[in-house]
Structure 1
Amino acid sequence: MRGLLCQVVDPARVRRALWIAGAVAAVVLCTLVALHLANGWAGPGGLRPGLVVAAVTISAFLLTYGCCPTAREAGPELRINGRQVRPDVAMAVRWEVRPYLDRVRRPVHPEHREAILNDVPLLQRGLVRRLTRLAPLLLAVAIGAAVVLTTGRAQVFAVLWPFVYLFTLPAMVLRIGRSERARRDALATPPAASEQRPQWRRDPSGSKLGLPGE
C-alpha cells in the first residue's frame, strides 16, 4: 500500500494541502469559539461545546484537504506535445481479468498473464487515487452529520447516508489487496508459449531446369 501511495500521491502537493487545510481549520476554530461565546450555539455546559467545536473544526480540516489536489501529474512517457494520451489510472479491467479479483483465488492461465500485468497496476492506482480523495471527504461529512444528530434538530434518516458511503472505503482496500494478489500470481506464472510461425524457404521454388546459357 505504501508503494502505491508513492506512485499516486505527490508529497509536495500533500504538504500544500495540509497547510491550506490547517489554515482553514484555524479560521473555523476561532470563528466557532467567538460565535459560541456570543450566543452559545454549541449548547450548554463545558464538555459538550468543546466536543462540538472540535468536531466541526476537524470536519472543516478534512473537507478542505479532500478538495485539494494531491495526485501526481502524468509523466512525460504518457504525454505527446504536453497532452496526456495514455491513461495512468483505471477503474475497470478486461473481462478475462475480472475472475482473478474475486474472493476465491484462481490459478492464472498463461494466456491471461499479460492482461493482468497490464490492467491491474492501472486499477490499483485508480483505486488508491479515489481512496485518498474520498476518505477525507466522507469522514468530514460523517463527522458533520454526527454533530447535527447530537443537536436533535434533524431526522436520523436524513443524515444517515454519509455513514452508508463510509462502508465503500473498506471495499476499496479489499479490492486493492485482491488485485495485488492477482498481480503477484501473474508474475509467478510463466508466460504463454509463443506460436511458431512457419519458416519461409529462402531458395526459389518452381522448376529447377536450367535455361540456355546458364
Structure 2
Amino acid sequence: MKKVLLLLQICFISFTIDAQEVLSIGGKEKIILQPLEKNEKIMYEKISTKKGFELHLFASNEKSKRLICQIAYYSGYHKLCDDGDFYFSIDNHFINKEFPNLTSELFVYNPKKGIITKVLNSLLFTVSNDGQFICYCEVYQITEKENHDVPYWYIYDTKTKKNKLIINNKQKNNWDIGIPVFNGDMQSFILEIGYDDVVMDKLIFDPYKMEFKK
C-alpha cells in the first residue's frame, strides 16, 4: 500500500510541473520531470532576464524540439557528460535576501529518468566526461564562514560520494585559479592559474589516481 501511495505521489508531482513555468529549485533536493522519449536528445539554452539567467532544457529529435522545463537563477556553468547526464549550477545570490542561508548549488539532470537531483553546494565546477568526478570550488558564503583565505577546491566522486580536498592555500604570487576544464586525452582536470586573463601556470589533477601530475 505504501509503495502504491508513493508511486501516485511521484506521478502527481511529475504531471503538475508545467514546462512553461519558471522553476526556482534552490533549496530543493529533487525535482521530477517527464523523461526523454525514445530517440530524443537533450538540448539547452541560456536565456538572459532582469533577474539573471534562466536555463531552458529541451528534448529534441530529427523532426521536433519540445520544452522540458525552465529553471531560474542559472549560473551559466554546465557540463553534458557522455552518458547524457547534464550538470549545472544555480546562482542563489539573487534570492539570498529571502533565504540568507541558501548557498549556490550544483544539480544533475538525468534525462532518462526525468529527475533533477542536487549534488552539492557549488557555483564553479566541471565534470569528467564519464560523469564520475566533479572538480568544484566552495561558494563564497562557505569560504567566508570558515575564514578561508581562498575558496577550497575539491574532487567529488559521484560513485563513492566522497570529497578530496586538493587546494586550500593561496597560489604563488597570489595568483587566482580559473575554472577548470576536463581534458579527455589526459583524463585529468586542468586548472589554469594567473591573474586577470593572463595564464601563468597550470595544475593538472588526475582524479582516477587522485594525484597531481608533474
Could you state the TM-score of these two structures normalised by the residue count of structure 1?
A: 0.23
Could you state the TM-score of these two structures normalised by the residue count of structure 2?
A: 0.23
Structure (1 or 2) with the greater strand fraction = 2
* Structure index of larger Rg: 1
